[in-house]
Amino acid sequence: MKWKLTAGAVAVALALAAGSVQAGPLEDRVAAGEPIRLGFANAPPWAHPGEDGSPLGFVNVITTDVLARMGHTNVEPVVTDWSGLIPSLVAERVDIITGGMYILRARCENIDFSEPIGQFGNAFIVPAGNPMGIQTYQDIKNAGAMMVGVTGYINIEEARSEGISEDKIMQVPGITEALAAVRAGRADAGAMTSAEADKIAREADDIDATDTNALPQWTFNWVGIGFHQDDDDFREAFNAAMEGYIGSDEMLANVAPYDYTRSNVPGDVATEWICVNRPVTDS
């Protein structure tokens, strides 16, 4: 399969200005021979583009595998900032969004999610040696430390709910910028998913990742694939194709390069329940 990024891969604003909205359910566009536009942010190991534009990362691997099981291999990757993913889907600039998006109540009001593909926790990146002893949001609050997080990530709301003041929360477009802020000393800790934090710490001698299990259980969340609310039929078919695949030996082998392990398999929790019960604001 040959991948080619569209203009939206450089900046979604360019795609919005140059392209026209494609109306109608995803099933109709697929039947007309149109590619499935797969939207994601550059956020390894969840999702990122390869050198040839291919959609890499374990969420993209799972999504394209399931689409292939449905008989769909005509996929067009579209990369944008994290905060642009849901607006792009709602505006029908993309058809599906991946990237490791937590299923959250506010998001469920604007888009529909597949059944969960995994469960994950959060963590912080800190300078090597963790000089301020940060493990939790309360540690950040008590130390008067500066936290950096990605705009649109649940970490921002979690920090607020834990009483961290707005002047101690820096927001940036992506993980790369969060890492740069910690390295430059502009932030004392970078809040993100544990998958992202662990990957950064493995690859950087000057950065450590905190223990995800130090955070309360209510900060653990389930990840789903995002669909437009008019594409119920396609989403239901996608869910059906996931049955028997999520957690299978085949899936775990395919995502092994991206550190998804059997411990991340989501279990039997349904998206309908998650949309009502996540997030919670206390333990």
Distances (CA, A) of 7 to 11, 36, 50, 271: 7, 15, 16, 33
pLDDT tens for residues 164-196? 999 999 999 999 999 999 999 999 999 999 999
**The pTM is what?**
0.82
Contact predicate 189/66, CB 8 Å: no
Contact predicate 148/225, CB 8 Å: no
Percentage of residues of the chain with pLDDT beyond 90 = 86
Output phi, psi for 268, to 5 deg.
-100, 10
Mean per-residue pLDDT, 200-205: 96
Q: Where are the alpha helices (DSSP H) in the chain?
A: 12-18, 26-31, 58-69, 85-90, 105-108, 137-143, 154-161, 175-183, 194-203, 232-242, 249-255, 271-277
Domain 122-219: CATH class, spelled out: alpha beta
Mean per-residue pLDDT, 210-231: 95
Q: How far apart are CA 10 and CA 238, in angstroms?
A: 28
pLDDT tens for residues 75-84? 999 999 999 9
Mean per-residue pLDDT, 120-143: 97
Q: How far apart are CA 124 and CA 149, in angstroms?
A: 9
Output phi, psi for 76, to 5 deg.
-115, 110
Q: How far apart are CA 86 and CA 82, in angstroms?
A: 8
Q: How far apart are CA 175 and CA 153, in angstroms?
A: 10
Distances (CA, A) of 273 to 103, 171, 270, 277: 10, 30, 5, 6
Q: At what angle do helices 232-242 and 58-69 cross, to 10 degrees?
A: 100
Answer whether residue 209 shows pLDDT above 60.
yes
Residues of the chain with CATH 3.40.190.10: 7-119+221-277, 122-219
Domain 7-119+221-277 has CATH 3.40.1010.10: no
Output phi, psi for 223, to 5 deg.
-105, 140
Identify the helix (H) or strand (E) that includes residue 77: strand 75-79
pLDDT tens for residues 12-53? 333 433 344 444 689 999 999 999 999 999 999 999 999 998
pLDDT at 99: 86
pLDDT at 279: 84
Token pair recorded at residue 47: 């999702």
Residue located via tokens 């028997």: 244
